[in-house]
Amino acid sequence: MNRIHEHRLFRFACVGIADTLTPMSKRVGPRAAVSLTGVSVLVVIFLGGLYYVKWSPSYQRAFTAAAQHSIGASIVSGKLAAPPAPSVDAAVGYAWAYGKSIWQAMVLGLLLGAGVQALVPRGWLVGVFGSMKFTGVALAGLVSTASMM
């Protein structure tokens, strides 16, 4: 089988999957159906991931802070009154504690980055966020605000 034929078979399979997943594909072309499915999957990952990794923990932490007037132990010193003396052991301990506290957000960021690359058409991204007009910049800033702490 030559590469052009393999590419057409793969594309046919992708369009068939998109037709199955997206009822709207009967009203729009196959390319738009794949795009709509991809963007929908990415929005679900974005909202669900941000809720699980950022929004829900921050909401719970607000009640803890209101009740205890503290947001918890320091990542540097833990429950000690002063931070540890500078050393390789202290640096490794801090790196490990920091990694344990951010690993879920890091995985979500990698998933979202890969999802944007794989699921969202490049032309659509450039059209929506790529202009230097106020609307493109404001929309990009608004979308990024949801992932801020």
What pLDDT, on a 0 to 100 scale, did the predictor assign at position 25?
42
pLDDT digits (tens, 9 = 90+) for 55-95: 898 898 899 899 998 887 888 887 888 888 999 999 999 99
Q: What is the pTM of this model?
A: 0.65
SS3 85: coil
Average pLDDT of the chain is 79
- The b-or-e profile of 33-67 (16+ CB within 10 A means b, else e) is bbbbbbbeebeebbeebbeebbeeeeeeeeeeeee
d(CA 118, CA 120): 6
Tens-digit pLDDT profile for residues 94-119: 999 999 989 999 999 999 999 988 88
The tokens for 129 are: 């966020």
Domain layout of the chain by residue ranges: 3-68+98-145
